[in-house]
Chains A and B, each alone.
Chain A
Amino acid sequence: MKRLVAIGALCLAACAQQPQLALRGSGDLGVVIERASGRVAVVDNSAAAVLGSVDGLGDLSHASVVFSRDGRYAYVFGRDGGLSKVDLLTRQLERRVVQAGNSIGGAISQDGRIVVAQNYEPGGIKAFDARTLELLADIPSTYGAEGKRSKVVGLADLPGNRFAYALFDAGEIWIADLSAPRQPKLSKFRDVGRQPYDGLVTPDGRYYLAGLFGEDGVALVDLWRPEQGARKILAAYGRGEEKLPVFKMPHLRGWAVAGRRAYLPAVGRHEVLVVDTATWQEVGRIPVKGQPVFVMARPDGRQVWVNFALPDNGWVQVIDTLDDRLLATLAPGKAVLHLEFSPKGEQVWISARDDDRVLIYDTESLKQVGSLVAQNPSGIFFTSRAARIGF
Chain B
Amino acid sequence: MKGLVLCLVLAASFAPAAQATVVPAPERQRQLIRMVRQDCGSCHGMTLKGGLGSPLLPQDLRDKPPTSLVATVLYGRAGTAMPPWQSKLDPAEAAWIVEQLLNGFPNE
Which residues does A use to contact B, with CB under 8 Å?
Answer: 35-36, 59, 61-62, 79-80, 101-102, 104, 120-121, 151, 153, 168, 195, 197, 213-214, 245-249, 310-311, 335, 353
Chain B residues with CB under 8 A of A121: 50
Which B residues, 45 to 61, have Cβ-Cβ distances below 8 Å to chain A?
A: 45-47, 49-52
Q: Is the Cβ of B39 less than 8 Å from the Cβ of A353? A: no
B8 to chain A, nearest CB (A): 32
Q: Is the Cβ of A59 less than 8 Å from the Cβ of B47? A: yes
Q: Does B33 contact A (CB under 8 A)?
A: no
Beyond the given pairs A104-B52, A120-B50, 11 more chain A to chain B contacts, judged by CB atoms under 8 angstroms and listed by A's residue number, are: A61-B45, A61-B46, A79-B51, A102-B51, A121-B50, A151-B52, A245-B84, A245-B87, A246-B83, A248-B42, A248-B43
Q: Give the CA-CA distance A244 to B84 in the complex, in Å.
A: 10
Q: Which of B41, B52, B76, B83 contacts A61 (CB 8 A)?
A: B41
Q: Is the Cβ of A79 less than 8 Å from the Cβ of B83? A: no
Interface footprint category on B:
20 to 34
Q: Is the Cβ of B39 less than 8 Å from the Cβ of A310? A: yes
Q: Give the CA-CA distance A80 to B55 in the complex, in Å.
A: 12
Chain A residues with CB under 8 A of B84: 245
Give the nearest-CB partner of A35 in chain B. Answer: B46
Q: Which of B39, B47, B87 contacts A248 (CB 8 A)?
A: B39
Chain A residues with CB under 8 A of B47: 59, 61, 79-80
Describe B's contact surface by its main secondary structure. loop
Chain A residues with CB under 8 A of B108: 36
Q: Give the CA-CA distance A332 to B53 in the complex, in Å.
A: 29
Question: Contacts A62-B45, A104-B51: A249 and B39 contacting too (C-beta < 8 A)?
Answer: no
Chain A residues with CB under 8 A of B45: 59, 61-62, 79, 102
Q: Is the Cβ of B83 less than 8 Å from the Cβ of A247? A: yes
B7 to chain A, nearest CB (A): 35
Give the nearest-CB partner of B34 in chain A. Answer: A354
Chain A residues with CB under 8 A of B87: 245
Give the nearest-CB partner of B41 in chain A. Answer: A61
Give the nearest-CB partner of B75 in chain A. Answer: A245
Give the nearest-CB partner of B39 in chain A. Answer: A310
Q: Give the CA-CA distance A110 to B81 in the complex, in Å.
A: 33
Q: Which of A168, A214, A310, A335 contacts B52 (CB 8 A)?
A: A168
Which B residues, 6 to 21, have Cβ-Cβ distances below 8 Å to chain A?
A: none
Chain A residues with CB under 8 A of B50: 102, 120-121
A313 to chain B, nearest CB (A): 9
Q: Give the CA-CA distance A79 to B50 in the complex, in Å.
A: 9
Give the nearest-CB partner of B47 in chain A. Answer: A59
Q: Write 16 A-B pairs (CB below 8 A) sorted by A numbering.
A: A36-B46, A59-B46, A61-B42, A62-B51, A79-B45, A101-B49, A120-B50, A197-B81, A245-B76, A245-B83, A245-B87, A249-B43, A249-B52, A249-B81, A310-B39, A353-B38
Give the nearest-CB partner of A121 in chain B. Answer: B50
